[in-house]
Structure 1
Amino acid sequence: MVLQTMFRYRVYNVLEGTDEGGMIGEVLNVFIIALIVANVTAVVLATDASLYQAYQSLFDWFEVVSVAIFTVEYALRLWTAPCNPRFAGPGGRVRFATSPLALIDLVAIMPFYLPMVLPLDLRILRMLRLVRIFRLFKLYRYSEALRMLERVIKAEKEALVVVGFVLLVLLILTSTVMYFVEHTAQPEAFSSIPMAMWWAVATLTTVGYGDVYPVTPLGKLLGGFIAILGIGMFALPAGILASAFGDEIRGRHEKKRICPHCGRCIDDPPAGDEVLTGSAEEGTAVPGAADTSH
């Protein structure tokens, strides 16, 4: 029983890529990341009918091997879930199975097994093949950059919600104004406020597809003003995220410079009493200190 528990903890550390997992954990993480990227590439390339027909057997075998590896990974993570303090105790594996990351792992392999259990038509099978693109989200477990993005969004969620609300209000106002200005001149393009929202979105985001545009003098004047306003408004969330990313990066650098044992900054010079104590314990003289033994 003890050996089984120790082996389970060993497997857990390897899967999580912790320091206890050693080189095996690092190699496994790199392999899984490469396999995820290769799977997403295969899903994208398989949508080309001529390419898929030419290499169908290769695509199919790669899918079988990938699903087998992902299935083993999911089973091992489910088996080692109690090693994580979050999922320790009764019902720990159930809590793990319903966690977001575990659900992503499950969605990554379900499209392969569902046709074996349920009779599905070709349209649903095509949709299930495209669902495999969600394997891309498995990278979150291995990517520090994605975890940093999550922390940044959580830290600035209030500001982002406020900016999003302001942008929504601006979208409704501009659509309403442009509907009343352009409806008479272009009853088909600006037939309603929801239809005018397409123009407002394209203008506020400065995309400007050109399929719908104002033709009246007042509409052109308002359109130019709204386009300029959109540049400034959509720069707000970008500035908020950039500032939050800067704070996160600085926080990581500062955290790295803190000694995990004493909690002091590594760059700080040692205090005088610590130097004397350390020197006395080692039996060495303190540089620059006067010899008072005579």
Structure 2
Amino acid sequence: MSQIRPAKAGPRTRLFQIIFESDTRLAKAFDIALILSILASVAIVMLDSVNRFKHYGDFFYIAEWGFTLLFTVELGLRLYCLERPLRYLTTFFGIIDVLSILPTWLALIIPGAQSLLVVRLLRVLRIFRILRLMQFVGEGRLLVDALKRSWHQILLFLCTVMMIVIIFSSVVYLIEPREAGFTSIPKAVYWGIVTLTTVGYGDISPVTPLGQFISVMVMLTGYSIIAIPTGVFSAEVIRSIRAERYSDEACPGCGYDRHERNARYCLRCGTWLNEETPDPRKVRRALSKPPSDRSDTDT
């Protein structure tokens, strides 16, 4: 991301290398500690919702505030070592960082007795901390790039599916009795989505032969089209992996363009792939020498 740039040289640059990079031992230790903290905080939020652990409420409360303070300090350090900290807050990971600490701080100013549901919502929002783990997965960028390139096809697929569901649901609403549960078109749309995805809860089902025949057609349609978005997304992921691994440089000798990025010679004809082609006379002269007399300068 272009927004992630270190501040001027000095302690802030060193801090940037520790927080945003992972090529040093200290940076790796920071990443591991942060991952463990995120997992522990998410586990506490989940256990706090279990009734049998309610007697640990004080411990959960103290631990939650401890993690909130820790993540607040960590966010402050991230902003401190950046050249443009406000731009980072507009990025995906910046928004997630804010969401991971905002609910706990907002709970201080929202009365718990009058707004119990709001407080419960804020507590559940802390689970978004687990999204911060995405920044530690290198392959996550490939998945995000594949989603960006395939969202038009996926959106078109979803629109087509919704049109099919609405059409079939409207027809079933017209032919089925209200006693079967089809009291409205939205209720029939719910049945259509459940049937198309082959979930089949069974709380609503057609009772007429024609309605049951339509159900069969909807289920067969669901099996037929469920693999379409998977294939589109898989194709984009494969394209991202190839773009990451292979270079676009074509061989000047045969035109072959499926070389790995660190390749020096053409896989098909052996032609030199670097921009500066070596002198063939120097190559022959270097190869004619004994291995002990060859030097890097000859090639």
Same fold (TM over 0.5): yes
**Contact in 1 for aligned 2:22/2:31 (Cα 8 Å):** no
1:233 aligned partner, one-letter code: I
Shift of 1:251: 3.0
**Correspondence for 1:49:** 51
Output one character per residue of 1:151-171: Cα deviation in whole Å (capped at 9) or x when no partner.
111011111111111111111
Structure 1 position 275, deviation (Å): 7.0
* Matches for 1:205-284 after TM superposition, within 5 Å: 205-254=197-246, 257-259=260-262, 264=264, 269=270, 271=272, 273=278, 277=282, 284=289
Indicate how the Cα distance of structure 1 residues 62 and 251 shifts in structure 2: closer, same or farther if over 3 A, else same: same
Equivalent-residue separation in structure 1 for 2:199 and 2:51 (angstroms) = 31
- Find the counterpart in structure 2 of residue 165 from structure 1: 159
Judge which range, 200-209 or 215-224, deviates more.
Answer: 215-224
Q: 1:275 to 1:51 in 2, by over 3 A?
A: farther
Identity %: 27
Corresponding residue for residue 178 of structure 2 = 186
Cα distance, 1:25 vs structure 2 = 0.9
What do the CA deviations read for 1:36-68 (whole angstroms, capped 9, x no partner)? 122212211110122131x23332332232122
The answer to whether the aligner puts 1:103 opposite 2:103 as a matched pair is no
Q: Does the 8 Å CA contact 1:156/1:240 hold for their aligned counterparts?
A: yes
Larger mean CA deviation between 59-68 and 26-35 belongs to 59-68
More moved, 164-173 vs 106-115? 106-115
Q: Which residue of 1 aligns with 2:66?
A: 65
Q: CA–CA distance in 1 between the matches of 2:48 and 2:266?
A: 53
2:53 maps to a residue whose letter is: L
Alpha-carbon distance, 1:94 to partner: 2.1
Distance 2:265 2:39 in 1: 39
The alignment covers a number of residue pairs equal to 268
Taking a change above 3 Å as real, the CA distance of residues 4 and 241 of structure 1, as seen in their structure-2 partners, is: closer
- Cα deviation, residue 204, structure 1: 0.3
Secondary structure, counterpart of 1:81 in structure 2: coil
Aligned to 2:123: 129
Distance between the aligned counterparts of 2:111 and 2:212, measured in 1? 56
Quote the residue 2:171 is aligned against: 177
AA partner of residue 38 (structure 1)? A
Aligned to 1:156, what secondary structure does the other structure show?
helix
Name the CA distance, whole Å, in 2 between partners of 1:147 and 1:202.
Answer: 32
The alignment status of 1:11 with 2:12, answered yes or no, reads no
Deviates more, 1:245-254 or 1:134-143: 245-254
RMSD (Å), alpha carbons: 2.9
In structure 2, the CA distance between the partners of 1:15 and 1:190, relative to structure 1 (3 Å rule), is same
Bigger fraction of residues in helix: 1
Q: Which whole-Å deviations, capped at 9, do the CAs of 1:116-162 have from their partners, x for residues lacking one?
A: 34544343322221111111121122222432221111011111111
1:152 to 127, 136, 146: 146
- 1:67-91 Cα offsets, whole Å, 9 max, x none, are 2221111001111121xxxxxxxxx
Unaligned 5+ residue runs, structure 1? 83-91, 288-294
CA pair 110-273 structure 1, distance change in 2 beyond 3 A: closer
Calculate the TM-score normalised by the size of structure 2: 0.79
Deviations 1:90-114 (A, max 9, x none): xx22222233321211111112222
Can you give the 5+ residue segments of structure 2 that lack an aligned partner in the other structure?
1-6, 248-258, 293-299
Alignment partners' CA distance in 1, 2:244 and 2:8: 37
CA distance in 2, matches of 1:78, 1:265: 45
- Contact 1:67 1:109 survives alignment (8 Å): yes
Q: 2:86, 2:40 → 1: CA distance?
A: 30
Amino acid at match of 2:236: A
